[in-house]
Structure 1
């Protein structure tokens, strides 16, 4: 049938084709919008990461501010107390790490030399690799590493300066978010149309609850990982056990990949310092701890916080790493969880009852 002017060409097409075309068009528009947002976030990556890290730290430190507020102190005092707690948590482990490295600095070269000799003997006996070939491979690897690092020294220095600036910005933002959080929320609510304020306020509250649960759950899982692997390193006698424990704790904030990288580093240190037997023991301990974490702790602690499929988590981590490096991988999953909760609430049918959620925290006294 030839379509007349009233129906038009589109009405002559099958309904399924029109529906597919509309869906494809919407998908392209959404993909383009997401791509532009990601490109913008990459262009201002230090600012983006500073804001996201500040939100995560605020979610962690909010109970401290609330506790000080319940004692009758102004919000500024509560925010300052939260900042002091954060500084103590950051500085004390750094000092302990420095002390541990300084104490073992004299013994470490001898331990590494003995461990490397045991590893060479094991490789020569198990695989028939000559010591000359091993020395040549190590020398070539060192030369390649130096040739890769030296030309980019200026870029690494600039990245360090940007990271320091982003850390300072995050610290300032955390203070203001702890101090003026309710007023910032009220100001943002006033920017919305009146008919949509309640819906978007509920969406923002659900997103914030997901962020807070994720941050606290991740800290709990990371602490358990660090204690388990750190205890194994101490029992086996691996040098630099405390720095490796701290590395395990920090790496746990990168889902999926972080624990693997930290375990690989601990295994390599054990191999270099104690030989293949110590390395196998450390590897076994890392595998046991990660299995307990992945199959027991994470579903128990993080299940309610994320409600995301593991495939979604893996894609989010990969996208974050591609756009923002290690820092992007660390913040990608909480951002995905927040976006999911906000979108789910905002697009929920108005007649559908709201899902059960944790009760909102009691109002804090204004300072």
Structure 2
């Protein structure tokens, strides 16, 4: 037998031996099974079902190098770049909005005014009024009331300035007398010399900076003229936009949501109705709370005969529209006026401080818990952060609109969570996705998702 035949016979015997080896047969069968069946999903430690192929640590996914990267690091990296993209998009949007503040700020103010006036217009429409007529009557009436109040307050402020100035002068003289005859026993000549030195320093500073002051005055005058034009333009835009928000707010929202993909249309209309209802409840609550603060604090200022009590009452009312911070600032101003503008300044200031604190406790512990629903109530930390961010972004207007916008976001998120829960319940009853979406969007016995969202916000 040749060497080639002997080698071939030996190889055939080895092959037969391997085929008859049970261990080799099991390994070959397992290899064939793995080749025919898809690999099972990798189950994470939290029991979340499985990881995507790019996070498959077994090395058999689309990116086999993932087996050298810990799962937590891979997930953190995935979250990080997505958050960076979202942050960049938000920054771009905010930058673009900052370039058109002349349009953005009036529209936001119009939105808040419409939330305040639209319930009155709805009541008139429900009693047979034409929609356009009801909207224009409500808008003009609100503008007339605000103008009359501001005119009266400004007149009272101008009329009270002389008395307030006399009170300050008298208070300074009383302070000088107390310093001379009080426990410190200061010499009147020393005090007069000290005051004369202050006056001389002021005169010298004015002489040295007279040209700068004149130039600054001219710049302020030019800015005031330009600002007056912007104010008139913004006021016209506010009135025009508020009218159409009151009259056609529902149609505008239906049109905007109609451009969304069909699966998201019902959800956004539902959430928009809930957000609008939340804003209406918030504005109604703020007006009531501001009125109560102004009435009680203003009554205390009037009884104590505090100068400029009516303008201070108006300041308290307007300050209440900026929760926490506005009430604190307006109350502090009232305390300072009572301290420097009355004869018994220290006693009156302490009494005013007590009244302000008492009213604030009444507001925090009785009015807001009773008037604000769960959909409207916000955490104090969220309010302070929102007011601060809004103030840095857009000044006093930003601080004014920050909390209402936060209330809208809060109500909208709550509504979306409720919508998803209702759709999930409908799917568990055997409905398909489209039917479950329609059932969730029309809960509460209404066929309109916007009305269903408003009803859901009221139920909260």
Following superposition, the deviation at residue 96 of structure 1 comes to 2.0
Query: Quick check: 1:122–1:276 contact (8 Å CA) kept in 2?
Result: no
Following superposition, the deviation at residue 115 of structure 1 comes to 2.9
CA distance in structure 1 between the aligned counterparts of 2:398 and 2:119, rounded to whole angstroms = 26
What is the aligned counterpart of 2:271 among 186, 191, 203? Answer: 203
Tell which deviates more after alignment, 9-18 or 348-357.
Answer: 348-357
What is the aligned counterpart of 1:327 among 397, 405, 421? Answer: 397
Query: Quick check: 1:251–1:259 contact (8 Å CA) kept in 2?
Result: yes
Query: Quick check: 1:115–1:271 contact (8 Å CA) kept in 2?
Result: no
Question: Corresponding residue for 1:299?
Answer: 369
What is the aligned counterpart of 1:317 among 387, 407, 410? Answer: 387
CA distance in structure 1 between the aligned counterparts of 2:106 and 2:333, rounded to whole angstroms = 27
Shift of the 248–27 alpha-carbon distance from structure 1 to 2, 3 Å rule, reads: same
Question: Corresponding residue for 2:83?
Answer: 27
Cα-Cα RMSD: 3.4
Following superposition, the deviation at residue 229 of structure 1 comes to 1.0
What is the aligned counterpart of 1:107 among 151, 160, 163? Answer: 163
Query: Quick check: 2:273–2:454 contact (8 Å CA) kept in 1?
Result: no
What is the aligned counterpart of 1:285 among 346, 355, 366? Answer: 355
Question: Corresponding residue for 1:12?
Answer: 68
Counterpart mapping for 1:1-367 below 5 A? 6-119=62-175, 125=182, 131=191, 150=217, 153=220, 154-155=222-223, 157-274=225-342, 275-346=345-416, 349=420, 350-351=423-424, 359=455
Query: Quick check: 1:38–1:323 contact (8 Å CA) kept in 2?
Result: no
| Per-residue deviation, residues 89-145 of structure 1 (Å, max 9, x unmatched) | 21121132133234434533322322333455567858889856578679989979x
Query: Quick check: 2:316–2:331 contact (8 Å CA) kept in 1?
Result: yes
Following superposition, the deviation at residue 185 of structure 1 comes to 2.5
The gaps in structure 1 that reach 5 residues or longer are: 362-367
CA distance in structure 2 between the aligned counterparts of 1:358 and 1:3, rounded to whole angstroms = 51
Following superposition, the deviation at residue 160 of structure 1 comes to 4.6
CA distance in structure 2 between the aligned counterparts of 1:227 and 1:314, rounded to whole angstroms = 25
Query: Quick check: 2:161–2:308 contact (8 Å CA) kept in 1?
Result: no
What SS does structure 2 have at the residue aligned with 1:304? coil
Query: Quick check: 1:64–1:81 contact (8 Å CA) kept in 2?
Result: no
| Per-residue deviation, residues 225-271 of structure 1 (Å, max 9, x unmatched) | 11111111101111111111111111111122111111121122222
Q: How many residues align?
A: 360
Query: Quick check: 1:238–1:270 contact (8 Å CA) kept in 2?
Result: yes
Shift of the 149–115 alpha-carbon distance from structure 1 to 2, 3 Å rule, reads: farther
Q: Which has the larger radius of gyration?
A: 2
CA distance in structure 2 between the aligned counterparts of 1:296 and 1:310, rounded to whole angstroms = 16
TM normalised by structure 1 equals 0.85
Shift of the 281–6 alpha-carbon distance from structure 1 to 2, 3 Å rule, reads: closer
Query: Quick check: 1:207–1:339 contact (8 Å CA) kept in 2?
Result: yes
Shift of the 5–260 alpha-carbon distance from structure 1 to 2, 3 Å rule, reads: closer
TM normalised by structure 2 equals 0.69
CA distance in structure 1 between the aligned counterparts of 2:162 and 2:136, rounded to whole angstroms = 40
| Per-residue deviation, residues 1-54 of structure 1 (Å, max 9, x unmatched) | 996895333343111111112222232223222222222222222322211111
What SS does structure 1 have at the residue aligned with 2:296? helix
Shift of the 359–340 alpha-carbon distance from structure 1 to 2, 3 Å rule, reads: closer
The gaps in structure 2 that reach 5 residues or longer are: 1-56, 207-211, 427-439, 445-452
CA distance in structure 2 between the aligned counterparts of 1:9 and 1:141, rounded to whole angstroms = 75
CA distance in structure 2 between the aligned counterparts of 1:139 and 1:285, rounded to whole angstroms = 41
Shift of the 52–140 alpha-carbon distance from structure 1 to 2, 3 Å rule, reads: farther
Shift of the 225–310 alpha-carbon distance from structure 1 to 2, 3 Å rule, reads: same
